[in-house]
Amino acid sequence: MDRSATSGNNGSGRTTNGTHSDLPDLATYQAQWAKIHDDTVRQINEALEQEKKRISNRPKQSSSS
């Protein structure tokens, strides 16, 4: 079996020789998390707006008490 094709990376995000050359640098990592955060906030805000619209479109119930 030819080990040259598989010896560089063990699938865990680290190379088998202990270096971290294939891991993102701190700025890239922070940018990825900032994007995830912004996407999550946007999705929450969209869900809240949809809920407000759904509630406002609900027919008004008359109180018969």
List average pLDDT for each run of 10 residues in the chain, which is 65 residues long: 51 55 87 98 98 87 61
Q: What is the structure's pLDDT at 5?
A: 52
Q: What is the structure's pLDDT at 41?
A: 98
Query: What's the 3-state SS for 21-43?
Result: CCCCCHHHHHHHHHHHHHHHHHH
Q: What is the structure's pLDDT at 58?
A: 81
Read off the tokens for 10: 């063990």
Cβ-contact 9, 16 below 8 angstroms: yes
Q: Cα 60 to the chain's mean position, in Å? A: 38
Read off the tokens for 35: 């994007």
Q: What is the structure's pLDDT at 44?
A: 98
Q: What is the structure's pLDDT at 59?
A: 75
Measured CA angle at 25 (ends 15, 44), to 5 deg: 115
